[in-house]
Amino acid sequence: MSRPLVSVFMMAYNHEKYIAQALDGVLMQNVNFDYDIVIGEDCSTDNTRSILLSYKEKHPDKIKLLLHEKNIGAVKNQIEVFKNCTGKYIAICEGDDYWTDPYKLQKQVDFLEGNEEYSMCFHNCQIKNDNVLFLAPPPPKSNICLKDFVKEEIYISTATVFFRNILSEVIPEHLESLYTGSYFIFMRLAEKGMLKYLEEPMSVYRVHDGGIWSGKTMFEKGEMALKNKEAMVIYFKNKPKFYKSLKKLFIRTSLFYSLYFAIHLELWKALHFIKKSFLFGFSLDHLSYWFLFLFQHFQNSLKMFFKSKIRRTK
């Protein structure tokens, strides 16, 4: 079998309710090139594996299954799936998300084929929470460089990304214990070229209790976010300009979670994240972040208050 132009990266674990919709969204793609779907199934305890086997039987030349004999965890599963993606390009669709545009892959291939200076493109998406759909917030600009990516967190749903298969070592071995998500990979791609944002919403990110991110508690999210940022700081330790900005990003994130838990009167958790901020040089100057977070919290509370008032008067 010849090398596909695109490999679709998919991880599945206890996605019995969602995996068929994820696969159908990929298989409906209308394209003028070959693509395959590489799926790491991490020893689910539900019927996810049997559903995947039935799809494999119907599409033997399209689907490559990695059926782990025991649960190896999200990070190792991700590494194994990346190793088996042989396409010139990689598109991501987790087993609990799905694509909605049959021309998504074609549009993204056309863009990267015609724009060599870009390493990745991603697009808008809808977020599905309790069957309610709403658009994700757009990034501050449509053309994003590494400096932009390091300066502030940019929301990128994994089900929207499409990138060149140019990371021979996706996750450096010495950072595997810190790595917990895809943000670090996006940063590495920004190191290789520009990132392009496309305004069309062409996928759905599903919020549910079993999600790798959405299913975590706020404390777990804080731990995951800081581990990723610590990996980024360590990775860029020999590039002073980015190293300094990433340390600020780490401190800002740790202080955000400390204030969140302080507001909710969970003081030991607040103290936990304050301590984390000292890892990369917390100083009194960084207290300005707290005032910014408080102001934003006050703004959001006012918006919610007036929305509830409007509902009552209708």
Q: Based on the fold, state whether residues 135 and 248 are members of the same structural domain.
A: no
**Residue 103 domain-assigned?**
yes
**Residue 1 domain-assigned?**
no
User: 125, 157 in Cβ contact below 8 A?
Assistant: yes
Supply the range of the domain harboring residue 306: 218-313
- Which residue in this structure is represented by tokens 């998504």? 104
If one counts every other C-beta atom within 10 angstroms of the C-beta of residue 211, the result is: 16
Number of domains in the chain: 2
Structure confidence by residue, pLDDT tens digits, 147-202: 988 887 788 999 999 999 999 888 888 888 787 778 889 989 999 999 999 999 99
**Residue 171 domain-assigned?**
yes
Q: Is the pLDDT of residue 59 over 80?
A: yes
pLDDT of residue 110: 98
Q: How far apart are CA 20 and CA 27, in angstroms?
A: 10
Q: Based on the fold, state whether residues 225 and 198 are members of the same structural domain.
A: no
- Among 178, 207, 236, which residue terminates a domain? 207
- Among 183, 207, 231, which residue terminates a domain? 207
pLDDT of residue 287: 64
Give the torsion sign (CA, 146, 150, 151, 155): positive
User: 9, 82 in Cβ contact below 8 A?
Assistant: yes
CB-based contacts of 226, cutoff 8 Å, min separation 6: 250, 253, 254, 257, 273, 276
If one counts every other C-beta atom within 10 angstroms of the C-beta of residue 216, the result is: 15
pLDDT of residue 211: 64
Structure confidence by residue, pLDDT tens digits, 88-141: 999 999 999 999 999 999 999 999 999 999 999 999 999 998 888 899 989 989
pLDDT of residue 5: 98
Q: Based on the fold, state whether residues 10 and 159 are members of the same structural domain.
A: yes
> If DSSP states are collapsed to H, E and C, what string results for the chain?
CCCCCEEEEEEECCCCCCHHHHHHHHHCCCCCCCEEEEEEECCCCCCHHHHHHHHHHHCCCCEEEEECCCCCCHHHHHHHHHHCCCCCEEEECCCCCEECCCCHHHHHHHHHHHCCCEEEEEEEEEEEECCEEEECCCCCCCEECHHHHHHCCCCCCHHHCEEECCCCCCCCHHHCCCCCCCHHHHHHHHHHCEEEEEEEEEEEEEECCCCCCCCCCHHHHHHHHHHHHHHHHHHCCCCHHHHHHHHHHHHHHHHHHHHHHHHCCCHHHHHHHHHHHHHHCCCHHHHHHHHHHHHHHHHHHHHHHHHHHHHHHC
Q: What's the pLDDT band for 280 if we cut at 50, 70, 90?
A: confident
List the CATH number of the domain containing 60. 3.90.550.10
Q: Based on the fold, state whether residues 133 and 267 are members of the same structural domain.
A: no
